[in-house]
Chain A
């Protein structure tokens, strides 16, 4: 099957391509860009005039909720939500039930993802057994099963000694550590940013120092050991400044932010609406400005979803008693494109942060339109206006503070390995 997509504005930062041209797909792979291959006869032609064509997006922070939390969502439902948002590769996190700390869970996820057949699924394994922070997981076995990294997510480590040993062991297995900086003692039972909103609402706050103290202590261990670490879901300007400085001084580190942290602060929390309950919490205006300002700096290599779909009941309680997290796969690209429109970041840099840069972090072959690579593609029409509603969301989780917001621009077609896996009803 030969597919030709014509007249699209193709943005492929890895290949320095940013112009209106054509793309040629032969079966599963990209045959050529710009100039057609010799003796080319397309079986199907899509005229994409006025649309953007991006490499399929790569999201490094997706909860698929399997195994164990099928009442929230399933691999099938969430991978479909991913492709509806133009995301063709996701990495899922190990905070499932059971946790992903043996090859059995990794294989289960891979099998279910394959049978769902929507997008590519990669697995980040648990750093410690059951994420309890005491004993190391069998990282060599996990690596053999195909994990792209290890993490303890937001579960505390017993102490800094275990943290250091886990870092060293992961490093000797050549596994990237995805570190979520949170000092759990300082965070205590907090559920919102320690600031004016927490004080007015009478909710326990999580101070900025819960993030900066964890970043500081991890940086100290990196300095000691030289181990490469990726810092996940930064929420404070100050922590990002520390990382930027350490990177400048040569530390082998990188970081990511999730899209909602670039848009929402604790000032935006309406009443006690539990859809705004996220951990790390929504911070201040200054933090948003600080995160936005550093999007094009050397330290940030990914803007991700931090997708956490929940069933309705999980959010149906007073704020502090609800589960944290936002269903975010379907707002990742719309929010990113808003940043471009608002001139926070250039289109090319924004697409880099959602394609080849996170792909490099996961060490997977994705996020580019290089001929010979799998044809994972996202076709985006910037002129379609649509409103996010529970009815038109594909994720099982309808928990998002962006509900009922109108966006301009929509994914119309998503291809995974040359196969059309999603086509929007709006097209």
Chain B
């Protein structure tokens, strides 16, 4: 593997290999990660064209635990205003002898585009491109599910919320399908579902009550505030009324169902505080596992599977 751009078309073995490698970075305590010298002397650049706090910092921590040098570059719209193209930005940084780029960009396909134009010895990790993919987030979600539930084969999983704009959901769906999940459901009003999403191998629900029935995993998606502007939804209030995850609704799922969220959460919009902080929530575990999973992917790309 030279790049890590999407979970689509990755085999079950490839995905399992990533999860196993991540496991090997986690200490006996089950949470914290070891510091290892696997990427000593390597230079990694966090190239973020879109704001991010958590994803960027977990990549940074992951790189440091692998003993790599890491540089954070936050390029906002100002560079575009100056007229520098995406490719020019990359070429300039490439000239600084970088081994790996971690790229987040607002355009779908941006990471794939850069991978086609970069020198062959450099790796690219997609940290989110438009609505297309966010494969490292999906992998840490898979890690969390495996940790909590063991095998994927008997699991029913519901993904609830703004699937139209969600790169996380697309990457989760591809990964869950490859890993053999029994049933993947998507739950949203039609305005927040992309056309023909059933073609991805999911069951579509427009009511959360039926969508959550007997599921083992509930994945809530973040609702961006700007969605009210494009006539996709009337209000946050009505969204919570129809799709918000409350304790009563969670009770419809399996008794031992877990609740996940890629964060940051909007309390009272897509999820109630009671559920977010409740004992079925694994939202904070997801964040902890994110470091080990990203370490696994970075070390595998650098040709150092541990």
Residues of A within 8 A of B (CB): 194-196, 198-205, 207, 271-272, 313, 316-321
Contacts and interface: CB of A to CB of B under 8 A. Distances in A.
Residue in A204, A271, A320, A321 whose Cβ sees the most chain B Cβ within 10 Å: A321
Interface stretch (B32-40, B65-73, B108-116, B260-268): B108-116
A318 B196 contact: no
Contacts of A201: 108-109, 132
Contact of A317 (B85, B194, B196, B199): B85
Interface of B: 8, 85-87, 105, 107-110, 112-113, 116-117, 129-133, 167, 170, 194-197, 199-200
Contact of B107 (A196, A271, A318): A318
Contacts of B131: 202-204
Contact of B108 (A194, A207, A313, A320): A320
19 contacts: A194-B195, A196-B196, A199-B197, A200-B8, A200-B199, A201-B109, A202-B131, A202-B133, A203-B108, A203-B130, A203-B131, A205-B194, A272-B108, A272-B113, A317-B107, A317-B113, A318-B107, A318-B108, A318-B109
B196 A320 contact: no
Contacts of A205: 194-195
Contacts of A321: 86, 107
A313 B85 contact: yes
Contacts of A316: 85, 87, 117
Given A205-B194, A316-B85, A318-B86, A199 B109 contact: no
Contacts of A194: 195
Contacts of B109: 201, 203, 271-272, 318-320
B86 A202 contact: no
B87 A196 contact: no
B69 to A, nearest CB: 28
A106 to B, nearest CB: 33
A205 to B, nearest CB: 6
B200 A200 contact: yes
A202 B167 contact: yes
A203 B194 CA distance: 10
B196 A199 contact: yes
Given A203-B108, A207-B195, A317-B113, 5 more contacts: A201-B109, A202-B131, A272-B108, A316-B117, A317-B85
In order of increasing CB-CB distance, the 9 nearest A-B pairs are A272-B109, A202-B131, A202-B132, A318-B107, A199-B194, A202-B108, A318-B110, A196-B199, A318-B109
A199 B200 contact: yes
A204 B129 CA distance: 13
B184 to A, nearest CB: 14
Given A194-B195, A316-B87, A200 B108 contact: no
A199 B199 contact: yes
B28 to A, nearest CB: 39
Contacts of B197: 199
A212 to B, nearest CB: 15
Nearest to A191: B108
B200 A318 contact: no
A317 B167 contact: no
Contacts of A320: 107-109, 130
A202 B197 CA distance: 11
A200 B173 CA distance: 10
B133 A318 contact: no
Nearest to A199: B194
